[in-house]
Structure 1
């Protein structure tokens, strides 16, 4: 990596990107803008965008160093269907994208939101904000995709997830593996209906919601 290269690396990305891609290819619309919340290093963004060539990928992150990493990954991979990353905090009452504040090769409506490994390493208010934003932005039939560890029936699905949850709560008392029923309830309040749950490697889940066709 050169001094001008701001790329950062997340080891989990290479492990989970192929299984996640399989689900995304099945559930995402075939075209339109895909808004990624908490894009992190940008490795997922450039990988998924390269496989979803008819879609435009809009990465976001609150961390300026990570936004720089996203730009560097995009330049390194020569991705012409990835927007410049935006600063976005899901807890804000209005997101930048709601007034069309993003530039890219084309302007296509946001048809789906992708959020990978965020709600367990952020306060519960971030999950509430994510669902509220998805409810505002997505049109009828729009997709919200979540990936990460979840409790089911308020029980951990694996000993490794229980240990991970304990570690997270030690790091920050507001973090922790979320109970799926609670997440579904919050989504439902925003007219987002649970569509499908996929079992993923390493005791994670892909959880797919769809914006209700009627309110």
Structure 2
């Protein structure tokens, strides 16, 4: 049974969750991933949320093994339910993974994708993400972020400012992050910033490469 709409961090007893934004952004994200992901190998998705993205991308990139993950038990349950329904051979069972932790249950990946986590998590999760990715990825491998950000010298959309206020009212540790701060965290972990793509609804995709 699917319930909705749902935001990561919310509880509930039903299995499948529905995050409405996934239906709106998945094709646009997939178009960029087609340029940035490797042709084969394992793609680790951090903070997979409901699991809807994982199913869509595993279907879109059948030559990649897709490994979803999430720290939220409700998210893991939803991912598993969508995976069972989809029946995709290249979509692995979800694993419990907290980006801020120094102990990840995955020991290697050929690319890492993280959608809409950086602003819906304490800041510690972002340098934790880069530190964990540095342990898994080989030189040149991609770490890809998607979501809303603030940028120096780029006016922030009114809708993003309102979203930032809403996030911080829910949890003071959440909120839109400045891209310079994210790039600095990446550099500290051994990543170089490679590319920025402007996405619909005032979002960005950011590509980092392991040095």
- Asked if Structure 1 and Structure 2 have the same fold, meaning a TM-score greater than 0.5 normalized by the shorter chain, the answer is yes
Match of residue 138 from structure 1: 137
In structure 2, what is the equivalent of residue 24 of structure 1?
33
Name the structure 2 match of 1:158.
157
What SS does the corresponding residue of 1:121 show, helix, strand or coil?
A: coil
Structure 2 CA distance for aligned equivalents of residues 175 and 154 of structure 1: 22
Which segments of 5 or more consecutive residues in structure 1 lack a partner in the other structure? Answer: 99-108
Question: Would you say 1:82 and 2:91 are equivalent positions?
Answer: yes
Name the counterpart of 1:112: 111
Structure 1 residue corresponding to 2:69, chosen from 56, 60, 76 = 60
Determine the structure 2 residue equivalent to 1:102.
none
1:196 positional shift? 0.5
Aligned Cα root-mean-square deviation (Å) = 1.6
Of 10, 13, 38, 2:22 maps to: 13
Q: Secondary structure at the match of 2:124?
A: helix
Q: Deviations over 1:107-128 (max 9, x none)?
A: xx51000000001011000001
Structure 2 residue runs of 5 or longer lacking an equivalent are 3-13
Query: Number of paired residues?
Result: 201
Q: Name the structure 2 match of 1:104.
A: none
With normalisation by structure 2, the TM-score equals 0.91
User: Is 1:148–2:147 an aligned residue pair?
Assistant: yes
1:180 aligns with 2:179: yes
What is residue 50 of structure 1 aligned with on the other side? 59
Asked if the contact 1:7–1:72 (Cα under 8 Å) also holds between the matched residues in 2, the reply is yes
In structure 2, relative to structure 1, the CA distance for the partners of 1:52 and 1:81 (3 Å cut) is same
The Cα shift of 1:6 comes to: 2.0
* Partners of 1:117 and 1:153 in 2: CA distance: 20
Displacement over 3 Å in runs of 4+ = none
CA distance in 2 between counterparts of 1:89 and 1:206 reads 21
Alignment partners' CA distance in 1, 2:77 and 2:103: 23
Matched, 1:33 2:64: no
Give the Cα–Cα distance (whole angstroms) in 2 for the partners of residues 164 and 80 of structure 1: 37
1:155, 1:52 → 2: CA distance? Answer: 33
Moved more, 87-96 or 142-151: 87-96
Partner of 1:71: 80
